[in-house]
Structure 1
């Protein structure tokens, strides 16, 4: 059976010992023959990157009041290592992370740890880190001020969780390397995204718009991993924001892409995330999703229903269903070598040649600036009501910008018609030297770009790279949110609309042509089998963002008259399937121990061999809520929505926590509920 299921029918053997030995020898011969045909060495690994689940500002919506209060599902990093079997040194690692972005500081820390353990085997040249862009994860892991403002500064606990989990996922994939083959399949998914910036999209030339009749990018691309002809993993690329959960949510989640991966790994193939061998790994990676929203009604948390958690599951399941179909249909073998090119570009001052600008003249990019329409937010994630999208709608900033443009024609050429809100580049709040990466996996090419690209922008990038390589544009996939982060990336035509996405295109109107030019350079180098110029050093980026404004946990004490782990509210004695069991514990601050590769909660069923865990805080059916009681006391509420297929029997809920004493010592504790029946 496909899809990562390792169970099959046991063959019936007849004819005595001779026949058995003959069958065994034939099996070894067939296995050896299959192994000889396997072109690559392939490895898979999963790491737990769940950050601080309490009082950590969340990344994505820029809401100061949106701070973590628990976990709905854990965040994961899913790594895949590809190597040529005849030349294993030619390899790449591609990682998809349930995170809002990949910041340069995280990438550098991961590479430093890999270098310490593996020397030059992995480095910036052959490691591609990408984010799913979930808006339901904790932030504070950047070293640039802009991205830490609403998280009350740098959050070292969340930073460490990301770095450690990503590193572990790559190391596990490296240890998992074994002969295998790759297959690719392409299809369409039309009910999991909507264009949230339609007016800007309509500014593009008709030839570009005709490529997207519904103003969405329906392309879903799947890379299938095989060993012995059996699927053991997959990466799927599809463009839709991971924003099914609204700014009102304060529970950690991988959002719709995280659920899609969970659906395939845990619910379909039975992966145990706390076990060593995952069995099957499914990554749902992001592409050119700048103007693609999963909120089909274009309001926060809406579409196809008004329940944001139901929408997360539905949009995630649609991505899984399309990917699973492609897995079965993946008949196109991936052949060819493994290759990579990496370079750095100073996006604050790049000369763009006329062959890329489209107007017959060369232009320059500009120091980063945010427009007033950036502050207005997007249709499905609006900002303060006193800001509006579009030019001429923010009179105060429009007046200032017009004065600036009159004083500086060069600034006008690079940033107009943006109504400038904040010159974040000259303030040193964002990176200016950014990594670009082109990865070849046989006949598939990944464009690793550190920005959020619109669908037409992605189309132009793919066509640019494909032309230099002499391949079809469908052989090229834009891997957005890669290796660092610097906002949005629109076409020059979309930029002129100055919707949210254009206001967040920080380096000005010529940003996309600049990237087209630089990726054309990498592609030409790859086609000619020559090295690429490394570009300016990222050490030139300002990093004033490691300021920590929020103190850590001082100490814990249980509620008055209680002990850590004591049950404050017991579950009912009996539940029917579909009901929700709820237990409240006296607890401590969960940031004392993030329980990576573990869990704050266990739902257990009594069996003949003792208590067996059936769910933890990584499962869709559970929720872990933390609340402060007074100054130093905490409570934890564990809820478990009992699945329709739950076995009848006795159950209990276990909570694992850790308390910090005045001395700084941290002590683990456990609480256990009374038993209850299901059935």
Structure 2
């Protein structure tokens, strides 16, 4: 009986394995066989002449980058769902900095899943006509939310497999590049004399290491402890505070912060756009200063997060947990921001070095063991801890900690290859291969943006190596920012790679990827110390990408959505345990393909006064169904149920400055 049962299980597992291979082959092949190619030609021209300022200046601005309904989403790959609306808006927050006699720079924080090299270059191309920021002094940092759009990346591999639908979307790319560029241009235009302060402090308890056994492999003989999952994280929050002159005084204008936490508190299979925990990390500080510093902007971006997940409570992952964790981190940002009030200085000393490398070509400096082509590990299909999908995540070869035991003498070592040698049918040029390395210095802050997801220990080694290149005598604060300006998968340490957890399987260029990142970053930092700013980016570049447009063609895009009409009465719903109760009402409005979410404005009015807007997380727009002339939407208000809301009304305006239409009152 036991033999028969065992044989059945083996046949069942074998059948599933064959099915996965067939589906994988079909999913891999058809975009490469049938999608047209979109060619992006980018020319990086010199910007305007640097503005002449007697004092250091800064400008800060933001733009809404929430795409239309129906777009594929990046981060959870095939497990993602196309967007049906938004729970929080996605933002681009731009920080312009310029000290007299130094290179003007712009650092942009984006509520996106990852950076993109062509997106970086297109934004640089756009802003050159209206700002003095050169391409090498622009950096795009991201939050790595898994509830934002995909289809704008610089490689076919991630445009096809990073989202729930394949292909590069030229219209989405144009939308994002314009919105981001407009934020930088406004930041440049709003520049004022400024004061600056940089600080760091630690907070634990809201992140955990999701791959403990792989992390522990860095320390031979070490026994895992009960609190290791909470302790084996990067707890440091780094914050740059900027105050601008207003009349005879300086007032808080903005802050850029970095912290290490995966944007995955919102789980797979959810539909709305969502900035995840980052909405609250940014928003709590902004709300704190609403009264004393109207228009204050806080952009929070990734540090070294690759194996650091949000510490959600078991079985409660979702909106409420994202809020709990994000608010706690946001309150920590408030404390850190206020602690810097006495450290503000008029001094601004900056430098920036940028070098673009094609890892498929001969590199003048050493490769440090980097493999000559990318290979995807089988454990990537098994997914990361916390995102397992039955039965795929538990199958032999696909599950974590299943390294290759034989034939390990190739460059990829112990990695189990996804689809084995069939992967070689995908040309190496279809994988990410153009990498932008940067070192950015702002006073004692040294920022190292990299297009890899960097694990905790990889980040520790990177920071230490960069710190060793810096002049002694300054209390340098070095931080690495993952996924900046592009996406190359993960960077695990060689020791972590040996265990082939998700992070090791997703380290595309082999076990010495971190050695390569350290070597190239150190080389770039040393060049910057010796020669000053480094501009090593090709002036003209072409990207050829498999394309498919999901972004809707708005035939009446110039016309504000008309015919907004509330239907029925507001109703109280209990909602899901992970998101909580809410008031809902139906809205009839412009069809989704013509509804520009960036111009629409939702709110709640109580006793004739606005009490909530869709800049927060209290209001959600959700597409329901297509109608003859109008589509049906549901608007939700996640209100405090302990308060009385009788008489409150939903409000909507087709544009931010347009007339408001009020709903029937809450009974």
**TM-score of the aligned structures, taking structure 1 as reference length:** 0.77
| 8 Å contact kept, 1:370–1:424 | no
Using the TM superposition, name which of 326-335 and 377-386 deviates more: 326-335
Structure 1: runs of 5 or more not aligned: 1-37, 297-301, 557-562, 659-667
- CA shift for structure 1 position 431: 2.1
Tell me if 1:116 matches 2:116: no
Q: Which one of 311, 322, 332 corresponds to residue 322 of structure 1? A: 332
| 8 Å contact kept, 1:372–1:503 | yes
Tell me if 1:174 matches 2:188: yes
- Give the structure 2 partner of residue 15 of structure 1: none
- Give the structure 2 partner of residue 199 of structure 1: 213
- CA shift for structure 1 position 269: 2.7
- Give the structure 2 partner of residue 618 of structure 1: 615
- Give the structure 1 partner of residue 34 of structure 2: none
For the structure 1 residues 183 and 156, does the alpha-carbon distance in structure 2 shift closer, same or farther, using more than 3 Å as the test? Answer: same
Tell me if 1:673 matches 2:663: yes
**Cα separation, 2, equivalents of 1:79 and 1:95:** 4
Tell me if 1:238 matches 2:259: yes
For the structure 1 residues 173 and 353, does the alpha-carbon distance in structure 2 shift closer, same or farther, using more than 3 Å as the test? Answer: closer
Which SS does the other structure have where 2:648 is aligned?
strand
**Cα separation, 1, equivalents of 2:535 and 2:104:** 20
Which SS does the other structure have where 1:63 is aligned?
helix
Matched residue count: 587
Structure 2: runs of 5 or more not aligned: 1-53, 575-579
1:15-26 superposed matches below 5 A? none
- Give the structure 1 partner of residue 237 of structure 2: 220
Q: Which one of 281, 285, 289 corresponds to residue 301 of structure 2? A: 285
- CA shift for structure 1 position 141: 1.9
Which SS does the other structure have where 2:78 is aligned?
coil
**Cα separation, 1, equivalents of 2:165 and 2:475:** 40
Tell me if 1:547 matches 2:558: no
1:10-159 superposed matches below 5 A? 40-52=56-68, 54-63=69-78, 66-84=81-99, 86-87=100-101, 89-118=102-131, 121-149=132-160, 150-159=164-173
Which SS does the other structure have where 1:293 is aligned?
strand
- Give the structure 2 partner of residue 372 of structure 1: 378
CA RMSD of aligned residues (A): 3.8
Which SS does the other structure have where 1:162 is aligned?
helix
Which SS does the other structure have where 1:270 is aligned?
coil
- CA shift for structure 1 position 99: 0.6
Deviations 1:118-139 (Å, cap 9, x if unpaired)? 3xx2232101111100111122
**Cα separation, 1, equivalents of 2:331 and 2:551:** 42
Using the TM superposition, name which of 336-345 and 385-394 deviates more: 385-394
| 8 Å contact kept, 1:347–1:366 | yes
Which SS does the other structure have where 1:128 is aligned?
strand
Which SS does the other structure have where 1:571 is aligned?
strand
**Cα separation, 2, equivalents of 1:155 and 1:136:** 17
Tell me if 1:258 matches 2:279: yes
Higher relative contact order (CA 8 A, sep 6+): 2
For the structure 1 residues 533 and 614, does the alpha-carbon distance in structure 2 shift closer, same or farther, using more than 3 Å as the test? Answer: closer
Tell me if 1:269 matches 2:289: yes
- Give the structure 2 partner of residue 448 of structure 1: 449
Using the TM superposition, name which of 57-66 and 564-573 deviates more: 564-573
Tell me if 1:343 matches 2:352: no
Tell me if 1:639 matches 2:636: yes
For the structure 1 residues 551 and 99, does the alpha-carbon distance in structure 2 shift closer, same or farther, using more than 3 Å as the test? Answer: closer
**TM-score of the aligned structures, taking structure 2 as reference length:** 0.79
| 8 Å contact kept, 2:444–2:477 | yes
| 8 Å contact kept, 1:375–1:384 | no
**Cα separation, 2, equivalents of 1:379 and 1:239:** 17
For the structure 1 residues 383 and 449, does the alpha-carbon distance in structure 2 shift closer, same or farther, using more than 3 Å as the test? Answer: farther
Which SS does the other structure have where 1:151 is aligned?
coil
Deviations 1:231-289 (Å, cap 9, x if unpaired)? 32212211011111001321111110122212221x323389xxxx9521111111010
| 8 Å contact kept, 1:145–1:429 | yes
**Cα separation, 2, equivalents of 1:647 and 1:395:** 53
**Cα separation, 1, equivalents of 2:193 and 2:550:** 49
- Give the structure 2 partner of residue 651 of structure 1: 648
For the structure 1 residues 676 and 60, does the alpha-carbon distance in structure 2 shift closer, same or farther, using more than 3 Å as the test? Answer: same
